[in-house]
Structure 1
Amino acid sequence: MAKVLVTGGTGFVGGHCILQLLDAGHEVRTTVRKLERARDIRSVVAAHGRNADGVAVMQADLLNDDGWTKALDGVEFVLHVASPFPADEPKDPQELIVPARDGALRVLRAARAAGVSRVVMTSSFAAVGYGIPDRATPFDENDWTNPNEPSVQAYMQSKFHAERAAWDFIQRGGNGLELAMVNPTGIFGPVLGHDFSTSIGLVQGLLMGALPAVPRIAFGAVDVRDVADLHVRAMTAPEASGERFIAVAGPALWLKDVASILHDHLGERAAKVPTAEMADEEVIRRAADAPAMAAIVPQLGIVRETTSEKAKTLLRWKPRSAEEAIIASAESLLALEASEAA
């Protein structure tokens, strides 16, 4: 078994990667910006039945070089998961682009210097299918977002630039360091605590009745457990080196489909979930005073289909259904709320 470093161990995907690596018998390290978060990671690991002492927590920040040499000492594989994903659109896209791109390059440089075999980096479908005219065929790993198209938002730009910079680094000076990329769509599934994806925030907002109706937005969905599984597969499979892998469970879902799934499976517990669809004009009106609403305006009415056939074929990846991922999100959010109320 290998020694593996997971960046961003307090995050939603990072936490699930840690659990699956422990289950596979690997020696796991993870990085945090502040060491006081080590307690949070170990609490999550212990709460989910794993040995918390099996995780070494190291201090390292994507914004500076301190700590990376020590964190990577003796490491064979790196899962670079950490990257910002805010709920609201920043005023300046560089607020996201710079830390995402420079952080990825910092990890790759340190990994190369430490003699790491392979880095698996978490990119996103955001780097694949935005700023491109409507098309009938699904997006795949050959597609790239156009960051210069005016409708492409800061997060999509940051994922594009971070991933491009990573591939350029490997091509120009990787010196034998291998790279694989995982490009998930919207990530759902069971939460491990309060650190979860913006996608999970959609489910949380529906359960809370945050809006009287659902906006007309659509997205691909995938379970976080399957995203973590794909990272682990891409870490060791020889055929994964130099490849991108889109992670999606199936066809895109409209947000109204998510609301229906919650009602069908939660019954009275989904009493606050809206069933009506909000007119685009109303979304635009509300966006004037709500940054979170403004962020979804460019996505209104657009469906982007994509395929994970490459991951299924090359890595024998078998994702859960999107419906199962949505239900697991809701059940875990409700359980977390109940435990805190007790």
Structure 2
Amino acid sequence: MILVTGGTGLVGSHLLFKLVSSGTPVRAIYRRAHKLELVKKVFGYYTDDADPLYNKIEWVEANINDVPSLERAFINITHVYHCAAFISFEPDKYRELRKVNIKGTANIVNLCVSNTVKKLCYISSIAAIGKEPHEDTLITEKTEWNPEDDNSVYAITKYGAEMEVWRGTQEGVDAVIVNPGIILGPGFWNGGGSSSLFKQIYKGLKFYPKGTSSYVDVWNAVDCMTTLMDSSLKNERYILIAENLSFKVFQDKVAKALNVKPAKKEASSFLLSIGWRLDWLTHKLFGKRRKLSKQMAKSISSTTLFDNSKLKEDIDFRFTTVDDSITKVSKYYLEDVKTS
């Protein structure tokens, strides 16, 4: 039986649909019961008869930092997709990020070892890969992580989680790590994740940052994950992106697909430097949540180019173009707007 952590998230819900559609016995972890409705919603995108498929999932209420509940979830498990994570770039969330991303992953790895799990797939992030000194140099899986860099708290904890997975490989658990870029997919418009980008652009943005990022859609991500798990490949990591695009090009494409006006003004590095300082001051004075950290401001102003050739070569994978992914996700968003 397969175990999926983070089953109520964007990747987890789409992964569950693919697994149960193929007849695979699946158990999934959830923390909050109301989020199960989001999984049903995702299933409803792809079938008019979602309930029978959804009901094939064996749900277990558990927390990745609650070992007794995890132990129950691991009974008779042979393969694990570890999708659960806490995503935040707020510096004051560092302890919570460590608890979920590093300690929680350590708990998953420990139970994989003690239950002789055959293979583990960990969903990391391109944030956990090192940086190249020159912007035009492609970043690969071999690019070294530099702990002395001004890394974001999220990146630090995702890298730490990867170290736990590599520890597990030394203790007998075969594993693959995927490092996706921004994952494009429907169903989670109101969260703080990548799906909310479509909602933000639809409602209107005034500025766009001058940097770049890397993108992949959730369907490609899930297909790559399952292909890697079904393959003989082990103890490898893979950059999981379809294309590198500037934020301007990306938001222009999304705005066009949503039939709205894109942002016209560039947020310069100077403007962002003022922005993150004001954000910090507002947080200190009024306790408001951070929206823009120093590291985030630097990241969205920088050019980073990732190389996906290792994944394409090892599993002979062809990615969907970002244009086609944007068109597909935008269609779901507009349909949801009409019915909301």
Whether TM-score is above 0.5 comes out as yes
- Bigger CA drift: 9-18 or 132-141? 132-141
Find the counterpart in structure 2 of residue 207 from structure 1: 202
Q: Deviations over 1:120-172 (max 9, x none)?
A: 01011111134x422543111122432331x211011111111012102321x
The question of whether the paired residues in 2 share the 8 Å contact of 1:80 and 1:121 is answered with: yes
Distance 1:96 1:216, change over 3 A: same
Distance 1:182 1:265, change over 3 A: same
Secondary structure, aligned partner of 1:57: strand
Find the counterpart in structure 2 of residue 67 from structure 1: 69
Distance 1:201 1:10, change over 3 A: same
Amino acid at match of 2:184: F
Secondary structure, aligned partner of 2:306: coil
Taking only aligned residues, the RMSD between alpha carbons, in angstroms, comes to 2.1
The question of whether the paired residues in 1 share the 8 Å contact of 2:5 and 2:82 is answered with: yes
Q: CA deviation at 1:270?
A: 1.2
Q: CA deviation at 1:280?
A: 2.4
Are 2:335 and 1:335 equivalent residues in the alignment?
A: yes
Amino acid at match of 2:147: P
The question of whether the paired residues in 1 share the 8 Å contact of 2:188 and 2:195 is answered with: no
Q: In 2, distance between residues paired with 1:197 and 1:310? A: 30
Q: Deviations over 1:224-277 (max 9, x none)?
A: 111111110111100x21111111102x211110122134433xx313x31332
The question of whether the paired residues in 1 share the 8 Å contact of 2:136 and 2:304 is answered with: no
Secondary structure, aligned partner of 1:302: coil
Distance 1:255 1:115, change over 3 A: same
Distance 1:259 1:45, change over 3 A: closer
Find the counterpart in structure 2 of residue 163 from structure 1: 162
| Identity score, percent | 22
Q: In 1, distance between residues paired with 2:65 and 2:308? A: 32
Q: In 2, distance between residues paired with 1:120 and 1:69? A: 18
Q: In 1, distance between residues paired with 2:265 and 2:271? A: 13
Give me the TM-score of the superposition, normalised by structure 1. Answer: 0.87
Secondary structure, aligned partner of 2:209: coil
1:1-342 map, 5 Å: 3-46=1-44, 48-49=46-47, 50=50, 51-86=53-88, 88-91=89-92, 93-130=94-131, 132-149=132-149, 151-171=150-170, 173-174=171-172, 177-189=173-185, 191-194=186-189, 198-209=193-204, 211-238=205-232, 240-250=233-243, 252-266=244-258, 269-271=259-261, 273-290=262-279, 291-294=290-293, 296-340=296-340
Q: In 2, distance between residues paired with 1:284 and 1:328? A: 35
The question of whether the paired residues in 2 share the 8 Å contact of 1:10 and 1:195 is answered with: no
Distance 1:116 1:192, change over 3 A: same
Q: Deviations over 1:100-131 (max 9, x none)?
A: 1111111111122223210101011111134x
The question of whether the paired residues in 2 share the 8 Å contact of 1:31 and 1:57 is answered with: yes
Secondary structure, aligned partner of 1:54: coil
The question of whether the paired residues in 2 share the 8 Å contact of 1:11 and 1:195 is answered with: no
Secondary structure, aligned partner of 1:129: coil
Amino acid at match of 1:57: W
Give me the TM-score of the superposition, normalised by structure 2. Answer: 0.88
Distance 1:286 1:36, change over 3 A: closer
The question of whether the paired residues in 1 share the 8 Å contact of 2:257 and 2:330 is answered with: no
The question of whether the paired residues in 2 share the 8 Å contact of 1:124 and 1:185 is answered with: yes
Q: Deviations over 1:281-319 (max 9, x none)?
A: 222223334432335311243111111111111112221
- Bigger CA drift: 194-203 or 292-301? 194-203
Q: CA deviation at 1:335?
A: 2.3
- Structure 2, unmatched stretches of 5+, are 280-289
Give the total of aligned pairs.
325
